[in-house]
Amino acid sequence: MGRCKLCGRRMIVHLRYANLSLCEDHFINFFENRVLRTIKRYKLLKDNEKVAVAVSGGKDSIVLLHVLNKLAKDMNFSLSVLHIDLGISGYSNRCRELVEKYVNEYNLELNLMNMNSEDL
């Protein structure tokens, strides 16, 4: 296994396009900075804006929510979480529980919609 180009620790990812091997800490920092640069470059958010984030409960949307939540205070925007319960036995309950756990831990607003309800 290779080593992180920045600190020499064990790498967890190799970014082929950049020929860059990174450890866990440096990859997280790289990813968060990339999101921040993209938001700023394309002027995606304004001061005091409220951002709704659709979160399925899967790893991709949870990571997106986590990164935006970390940036929210410094960039002066607030988050609202939208989760749609698809009504799939077992699967939907687990996804909803993951979203609710994160929202409760970080005191975020949650808007929950159910596919089997009048919400849609």
**Domain ranges, ordered by start, for the chain:** 1-44, 46-120
**Under a CB-based contact definition with an 8 Å cutoff, are residues 67 and 51 in contact?**
no
Which pLDDT tens digit goes with each residue over 84-100? Answer: 999 998 899 999 999 99
**Under a CB-based contact definition with an 8 Å cutoff, are residues 108 and 81 in contact?**
yes
- CATH fold of 46-120 reads Rossmann fold (3.40.50)
Per-residue confidence band for 7, with pLDDT thresholds at 50, 70 and 90 = very high
Candidate from 10-14, 41-45, 86-90, 104-108 with smallest mean pLDDT:
86-90
Which pLDDT tens digit goes with each residue over 29-88? Answer: 999 999 999 999 999 999 999 999 999 999 999 999 999 999 998 999 999 999 999 999
Angle between helices 91-105 and 59-75 (to 10 degrees): 20
pTM, rounded to two decimals: 0.87
User: Can you tell me the distance from the alpha carbon of 52 to that of 47, in angstroms, rounded to the nearest whole number?
Assistant: 15
Question: In this predicted structure, what is the pLDDT of residue 115?
Answer: 86
User: Can you tell me the distance from the alpha carbon of 78 to that of 58, in angstroms, rounded to the nearest whole number?
Assistant: 22
